Amino acid sequence: MRYHATPSKEVKVHPMRILLLSLALTCVAGCSSWGFPGVYRINVEQGNIVTQEMVDQLKPGMTRRQVRFILGTPLIEDSFNQDRWDYIYTLRNGNTTLFEKRLTVHFEGDKLTHFTSTVPPSSETAAEADATEA
């Protein structure tokens, strides 16, 4: 059996095709940073949902177990500082952060000493704090 080899044909690529292909790739790469128009981005909730009612229940002297019962498991438990728990909640739409809530709880031993929060205090809690300061 005899095989007949055909001479290889040179494929000429037109320079206009190369230009159009590179232009199309550049446009697609550019759209990844801007996003495609008309594409719906869902809201993404991450972290612990902390309500004002939960914050109002926190009192100095509570045990870690009581705090965990009220707030749930903290999002961040620092292994280097075991006397601090962080509860963080973020709501994002794509790369845009719509809002973020933070609650940091501080302990001394097994007892709650204080906490800092971006959740504003309720009017009842603020009134109690003003009464104890006066």
Question: How confident is the model at residue 43, as a pLDDT?
Answer: 85
Contact 48, 87 (CB under 8 A): yes
Q: Does residue 105 form part of some domain? A: yes
Q: Does residue 118 form part of some domain? A: yes
* CA count, 13 A, side-chain hemisphere, 133: 6
Q: State what percent of residues in the chain have pLDDT above 90.
A: 25
Q: Does residue 35 form part of some domain? A: no
**Whole-structure pTM value:** 0.59
DSSP 42-100: -EEEEE----HHHHHH--TT-BHHHHHHHH-S-SEE-SS-TTEEEEEEEEEETTEEEEE
Q: What is the pLDDT of residues 37-68, one digit of tens each?
A: 777 778 888 888 888 899 999 999 999 999 99
- Predicted confidence (pLDDT) at residue 131 exceeds the cutoff of 80: no
Mean pLDDT of 66-81: 87
The total number of structural domains in the chain stands at 1
Tokens of 119: 């959740």
